[in-house]
Amino acid sequence: MKNSITEIARRADVSIATVSRALNNDSRVKESTRNRIQRIAREINYRPNLLARGFALKRSNIIGLIMPELVDEYFTEVIKGVEAEAIANGYYTMVASTHNREGSIVDTLDRFSHNRMVDGLILLTTFQTAATKRALGETGIPLVVIGDDPLLTHADVVKIDNFQGAYSLISYLVSQKGYRKIAHITGPPGNLDANRRKEGYLAALAKLGLEINPAWMVEGQFTIESGKSAFQRLMSLNEKPDLIFAANDRMAIGCYEGAGALGLRIPTDIGIAGFDDIFVSRFLTPRLTTVGVPITEVGKTAASLLLSRLAGTEPLRTREVIISTGIVPGDSV
């Protein structure tokens, strides 16, 4: 048995046009006709062929979500937020993880934006190259970028307030906890979040009139291992810091491991602070002091921006939403 509007039309003894109208609640169809058609549709468990509909309408009702390789709960949360918002508005979500390779981000972007499979795109990047930027300019479909980029002219942007988060954290550590010699383990050089966090750190130190010691800024890779090495480097200096602010929680965990290896106690011998408030941070001993980010909200906001644009009711100018962060006090400082 077929299962199309043609079949329903045959059974209801009307034309396919009438069926189409009835199923889409077109007010021109007589009520009795509409009811009859809808009943038949239910009986044969009719579902519109979304491929056919999308083809006819040039619209898939799918939004694409492009992310680097999935790690942490960070990505789960974003997916969750996007998906919830999408479903609530009749859209599906297609996830593409690009495995952190620059080439594949561009590829994925290019593919998705030109093959008409998705109506709009949400891109989560942690770094930005010329190639990516170029590809972003050529999508031709509505685009929302999640990330601490400079404002893009053709895309809405959702950014986490990394600067403020770091700035507030340092201020808190100095004014409330009395730290003066604050080191920083940065993230990978090109990482946008990492860069903004570093700027917040530097700005806070400057504002507070504290020493900015170049030796106290060590580069990390956002991994536990790199956090541990950075910690060891810092602890081998003649003039040691009294607190280490790691640009993410994973590296802070590395510091815990480093401290354990050296027999140093936190926060007695050295204070540790992180950024992200990932799930595990709550269970570290002592509980990590860090900066919390409402990640699900990031996803929801991104989806919401995209959907409103797809609905066509939005102005043409791009928008930028900043998601604020908050200090999560722990016992590591």
Positions in the binding site for DNA (CB under 7 A): 2, 4-6, 13-18, 20-21, 23-24, 28-30, 33-34, 48-49, 52-53, 55-58
Count other Cβ atoms within 10 Å, centred on residue 147: 20
The item of its own copies, DNA, none sharing an interface with residue 29, based on CB under 5 to 8 Å by kind, is DNA
The residue from 8, 9, 14, 62 that contacts its own copies (CB under 8 A) is: 62
Which among 249, 247, 106 has a CA at the least distance from the CA of 189? 247
Nearest distance in Å: CB 44, DNA:
11
CB 292 within 8 A of CB 323: no
What angle, rounded to 10 degrees, do the helices at 5-12 and 16-23 form? Answer: 110
What angle, rounded to 10 degrees, do the helices at 192-208 and 162-175 form? Answer: 40
CB 220 within 8 A of CB 157: no
Contact region with its own copies (CB under 8 A), list: 49-57, 154-162, 227-235, 310-318:
49-57
Would you list the DSSP string of 134-181?
A: HHHHT--S-EEEESSPSPPSSSEEEEE-HHHHHHHHHHHHHHTT----
Angle at CA of residue 154, ends 151 and 159, nearest 5°: 35
CA dihedral over 221, 299, 281, 194, signed as positive or negative? positive
293 contacts its own copies (rule: CB under 8 A): no
Q: What are phi and psi of 109, to 5 degrees?
A: -60, -50
The item of DNA, its own copies, none sharing an interface with residue 72, based on CB under 5 to 8 Å by kind, is its own copies
Q: Is the peptide bond before 286 cis (omega within 30 degrees of 0)?
A: yes
Q: What are phi and psi of 264, to 5 degrees?
A: -90, 145
Which among 106, 58, 51 has a CA at the least distance from the CA of 310? 58
Q: Which is nearer to its own copies, 68 or 202 (CB)?
A: 68
The residue from 284, 293, 302, 303 that contacts its own copies (CB under 8 A) is: 284
What radius of gyration, in Å, describes the C-alpha atoms of the chain? 26
51 contacts its own copies (rule: CB under 8 A): yes
73 contacts its own copies (rule: CB under 8 A): yes
Q: Which residues pair with 218 in a beta bridge?
A: 185
68 contacts its own copies (rule: CB under 8 A): no
C-alpha 328/C-alpha 293 separation (Å) is 10
| Residues contacting its own copies: total by CB under 8 A | 45
The residue from 87, 131, 151, 212 that contacts its own copies (CB under 8 A) is: 87
C-alpha 183/C-alpha 213 separation (Å) is 8
Nearest distance in Å: CB 191, DNA:
38
Q: Which is nearer to DNA, 52 or 71 (CB)?
A: 52
Q: Which is nearer to its own copies, 173 or 253 (CB)?
A: 253
Residues 237 to 276 in contact with its own copies, rule: CB under 8 A: 253, 256
Nearest distance in Å: CB 283, its own copies:
5
Binding marks (x or -) toward its own copies, 23..42, rule CB under 8 A?
--------------------
The residue from 75, 222, 231, 245 that contacts its own copies (CB under 8 A) is: 75
Pairing of strands 290-292, 326-328: antiparallel
The item of its own copies, DNA, none sharing an interface with residue 84, based on CB under 5 to 8 Å by kind, is its own copies
Q: Which is nearer to DNA, 2 or 317 (CB)?
A: 2
Binding site for its own copies (CB under 8 A): 3, 45, 47-52, 54-55, 58, 60, 62, 69-73, 75-76, 79-80, 83-84, 87, 92-97, 99, 110-111, 114-117, 253, 256, 279-280, 283-285
